[in-house]
Chains A and B, each alone.
Chain A
Amino acid sequence: MEESPSAARMPLRNRLQGVLIRHESLRGFLLLAPALVILGITVAVPFLLMSAMSLWTQIGFDYADDWSLRNYTAILTEPLYTTLLLRSLTMAMVATFVTVVLVYPMAYFLAFHVHSNKLIWLIIITLPFWTSYLLRVFAWRVILGYEGVINSGLMELGLIGEPLQFLLYSRVAVIITLAHAWAAFAFLPIYVSLEKIDKSMLEASADLGEPPVMRFFRVILPLSMPGVIAGTFLMFIPTVGDYVTPTLVGGPDAAMIGNLIQLQFGTINNWPMGAALAITMILSITLVGLFFMALMHGLRRWAR
């Protein structure tokens, strides 16, 4: 991109800067291009296709691209769909809430009370989450199973006569497993936000004679709220769509929307409906997210 002599005359400095920036961003985009093209093909295009297909209808082994909202009307009116959708949202919400509450003290401990080898602590806490999700969920099946670790252990100790039925194949089992499997997603942002708090601020509050409990509620908790919110989202969003956990430890009473989506692409073989369910799931997650943000915003204004 050479400058023409006439263009270079008047606002010379601005033009030069402009060309430089354009050059620079052009070079940047060139480097980004391979990644963006691949993500475009594997993420953006499929997503558009999925949106389109959600408006089609399955007829036998074929689709009719009749562009109707039939799938969505079915999802919103038939109890099977609404029940599973609401259940997935509530179960993910409960699991997220439990996890955030359980993880907060640990993050607090690491941020304020550990003074050496923090990196090793962080690695050990996050290590399991990089490894096989399937196996970590399977571990809970081993623990909660009818003849699993808990039941056979308690029977061996003579505390119960026969296995507890409710352990496996229940919503509680799914929530426990989700909490265990996704804890790092809630942990990391909360830890980072606590770590960033300026310690001198806390000393100032201590010097002014504020008791530790008040200091926690008036300084530490508010300052860590961005991390809590980020952690909530990072865990809530992926858990709504999970189907591995409900399949392995949930049973029919704890089936989630992910199971239904999977079935549409499997035995039920209604791909347009599967696409519509996937899109409905994303939309409802977004809706819950917006509601949560509004709630947090309202709380903050009220607290002031």
Chain B
Amino acid sequence: MTERFEFHKPNRALQLYAGLFMAMLYVPILFIPLFSFSDGLYIRFPIESFTLRWYAELFERTAVLRALENSVRVAVSVAIVSTVLGVFAAKALARYRIPGRGPILGFILLPLVVPPIIFGVALLLLVSALKIPLSLYTIAAGHIIICLPFAIATLLPRFEGYDAAMEEAAADLGENGWWVFWRVTVPIILPGIVASLLLTFTVSFDEFVMAFFLGGTDLTLPLYIWGQLRIPRAFPVVLALGTLILLFSFALVFIGLRIGRRGAIKLVDRG
């Protein structure tokens, strides 16, 4: 490391650019909370006075509360199912020599790239061909497709990050497979499991496209918001609801990424 090497000197232009970049990333989103406190019915400057009444109105709407309950139910089930499936799949991919590992991983990660409308439409065709009524269950099925890649991407580095010898040692000491899994594997990958639960919960909780195609009469929160977006008068309440959702989602994802650490980054590394 030579002292004169330029990367160790601060580069003012780049620092400025990075500042602008971060501002462009976050300022647009911050207008949602800003205007949610505005007393006016229209979203515009100048903001005359601030109020909490949109929030108060929010909690009086039974439709919002019902949508919230639906969203939580879907997201909790999706998080649990995709994380459990993810643990098994990640263990298989990390521990066993599997013929065709590359294509299999590619197939599992496909939903990260393919436009969600494709999966939504295709699943809708199957569901209607089987005469299954659209409901929260069909939404959850769609969400599992999207969440499974995130779960596996979060869990895979955990399995690759520790020595398989620990499991072997436990097995040599006479533990059977399930006990090895519970007493050795699970504690080691626990941070990955927690991270996967938090991330998949948030992805499902906020997901719109799949829910749009696969939802019945029971609305999730994003579906409720979509319906409200046709009514400009409803915007202030949507802003209040959006503020709470964003706050909640940001907190969950931040914790999830902190705990899961290398997951998201490793995934891209693999292409």
Contact = CB atoms under 8 A, between A and B. Distances in A.
Interface residues of B, number: 93
B115 A240 contact: yes
Given A188-B265, A203-B2, A237-B113, A148 B242 contact: no
Contacts of A127: 250, 253-254, 257
Interface in A109-126: 109-110, 112-113, 115, 119, 122-126
Nearest to B199: A130
Contact of A36 (B104, B117, B121, B242): B104
A115 B238 CA distance: 41
Interface in A229-266: 230, 233-234, 237-244, 248, 258, 261-262, 265
A125 B206 CA distance: 18
Interface stretch (B49-57, B62-70, B82-90): B82-90
B119 A43 contact: yes
> How big is chain A's contact interface, by range?
35 or more
Given A31-B92, A138-B242, A153 B254 contact: no
A45 B257 CA distance: 33
Contact of B246 (A115, A131, A234, A274): A131
Interface of B: 2, 5-8, 10-11, 14-15, 17-18, 21-22, 24-26, 28-29, 31-32, 35, 42-46, 85-86, 88-89, 91-93, 95-99, 104, 107-108, 110-119, 121-126, 129, 141-142, 144-145, 148, 152, 199, 202-203, 206, 208-209, 212-213, 222, 225-226, 229, 238-239, 242, 245-246, 249-250, 253-254, 257-258, 261, 264-265, 268-269, 271
Interface of A: 21, 24-25, 27-32, 34-36, 38-39, 41-43, 45-47, 49-50, 53, 102, 105-106, 108-110, 112-113, 115, 119, 122-128, 130-136, 138-140, 142-143, 145, 147-149, 151-153, 155-156, 180, 183, 188-189, 192, 196, 199, 202-203, 206, 212, 226, 230, 233-234, 237-244, 248, 258, 261-262, 265, 271, 274-275, 278, 281-282
